[in-house]
Amino acid sequence: MQLARRTTDLARESEVLQNIQERTSIVERLRAAHLEPLLEDLSARHVPADLVANELDQAWWQSALERMLQTNQALLSANTGVVERLEADFRLVDDAHAGAGGPQLAAKLADAWRVSVLDARQEALAMRDLLRSGEVSPAALAKQAPGLTGVLAPVWMMSPYEVSQLPEELGFDTAVLLDAGATTLVENVGAIRRARQVVAFGDTVTQTPSPFEIAVRTANEEDAVLPEDAALHEQSAFAQLRAVLPELALTHSYRAGGEDLTDLVNSRFYGGEIVSLPWAGTFLGHSSLTLDFVADGQGLPDQHTGAVESTDAEVARVVQLVLEHASEHPRESLMVITASERHAVRSYQAVLQAFAKFPQYREFLLGERAEPFAVLTLEQAMAQSRDRVIFSIGYGRTPHGRVLSNFGTLGRPGGERLIATAMTRAPGHDHRELLPPR
C-alpha cells in the first residue's frame, strides 16, 4: 500500500520539474562564470527576482574594487585601517554633535532665566516665597508670577484630563496632541483652545477612542448606550482635525525590522505605503515572525462567556518561551500580549511561580529596566513596544476539537485594529504567535 502511494506521488505533476532543464543550464553557465558563490548567497538570503540585477551589479563593482586594491598598492596605501579610522572619527564627531544639543539648550534656558529674574524682581521674590511654602500649583504660579511662569516651565506635558487644572489665562504657542487617534476631540478641547496652533499625531490603523463613562448602568442599558466602533473612530481628535488642518503622512519607519513581518503589516494594514530600514537578520535568512501551534490547547467553555479561555497548555507554553528568552536573550526586552484578560493574569502568575525556582533570572523579570518584562492585554499594549513579543491568543478549542466563535475583543467591532496593534509591538527583532492546534 505504501509503495503504491509513493509511486502515485512520484507520478503526480510537479511545478518544480517543469523547467528543470532550463534552470540547470543557467546554473551551469553561472558556475562557468565563477558566479556560484553569488548564486548561493542569493539563495540563502531569498533575494526576489526583480532585485537580482542590482545584486549582480553591486557584486561586480565590489569585485572590481577589490581587484583594484590588490593590483594597485598605492590605493589607500594598501591599508584598510585608514577607512576604519575615518569611520571611527565620523562616529565620534556625530556623537559629539548630537550630545551637544542638551547642554546648549540648558545654557540658553539658564540665560533667559537670569535675564527674566533681573527684569521682574517682584515676581521673582513672590515665586521664591511660593516655592518655599510647599503649596505650589499652576494657578498660584500664574497668579503670583505670570511673566516668569513661561520662562520657568516653557513646556508642559500632561494628560487631557489634567488640562483643566491650568489657569484660564495660561496660553501656549503650540499644542502637540500625541495619540490623537485614541482620544476624542471633546477630550482635547481644553488644550486646543489654549494654543495658537495645533499639531496632532495619530494612527488610524491602531488607534481608536475608548468609551468613557462614570454612570452606573445595567448590562442591557450599557449595550444600548455605548456607541458603535465606527462612530467612535470618527469622533477621534485626529479624525476631526485632519478634516480642517493640513496633513502630512509619516511613511518612513526608522526602526529596523524583519522583512517578513514588516511586509505583512505594511501590505495588510498600511496599503504598502510604509518604507522601513532593512534588518541584518533578513540578509542572513532569519525570520522575524514565528507561528507556534500549541498542542493540546483544549479546554471546557466558560459557563458565563461560553469561550474556551486560557488553556493550561498555552499557559505552559508561554512560561517556556519566557524562560528561553531570559536564558538566551537577557539583554533584549520582552512582552507577552493576549486578547484574553484572564489569560494575561494566569500567564503572569505562572511566570512568577516558574521564575521563583530560577533566581539567576530575577533581574530580567523584576529588575529596573527601560522596557521591563510585562504581560498585557491588547488594549493595555497600545502604547507599548519591546524588542521581542509573544502574542498568545488566549483562546483554544473544545475537547471535541471545535473552535468557538467567541474570541473576546478580537471578535468585536474594532478587533482588526487590535490585531494591527499586536503585530506592530515588536518593531525590532522577533514576533511569535501562539495559536490553538490546527
Q: Which residue has better confidence, 435 or 142?
A: 142
> Is 163 inside a domain boundary?
yes
* Same domain membership, residue 359 and residue 308: yes
State what percent of residues in the chain have pLDDT above 70: 85
Of 241, 218, 242, 421, the closest CA to residue 335 belongs to 421
Mark whether 166 and 134 lie in a shared domain: no
Residues 110 and 221 in one domain: no
Domain limits for position 335: 288-435
- Bridge partners (DSSP) of residue 291 are 433
Q: Do residue 125 and residue 79 come from a single domain?
A: no
| Amino acid letter, 90 | F
Q: Which residues contact 243 (CB under 8 A, 6 or more apart)?
A: none
Closest by alpha carbon to 339, among 256, 422, 264? 422
The helix or strand, by DSSP H or E, that contains position 221, with its residue range, turns out to be: helix 219-225
- The count of domains in the chain is 4
* End residue of a domain, out of 34, 68, 89: 89
Q: What is the pLDDT of residues 40-81, one digit of tens each?
A: 888 887 888 888 888 888 888 888 888 887 777 666 665 667
Angstrom distance (rounded) from CA 8 to CA 3? 9
Instruction: Please state the pTM of the whole predicted model.
Output: 0.67
Q: Are residues 173 and 292 located together in one domain of the fold?
A: no
Sorting pLDDT into bands at 50, 70 and 90, what band is 15?
Answer: low
* Same domain membership, residue 128 and residue 75: no
Helix, strand or coil, per DSSP, at residue 28: helix
Let me know: does 238 contact 215? Beta carbons within 8 Å: no
Mean pLDDT for the stretch of residues 186-212? 89
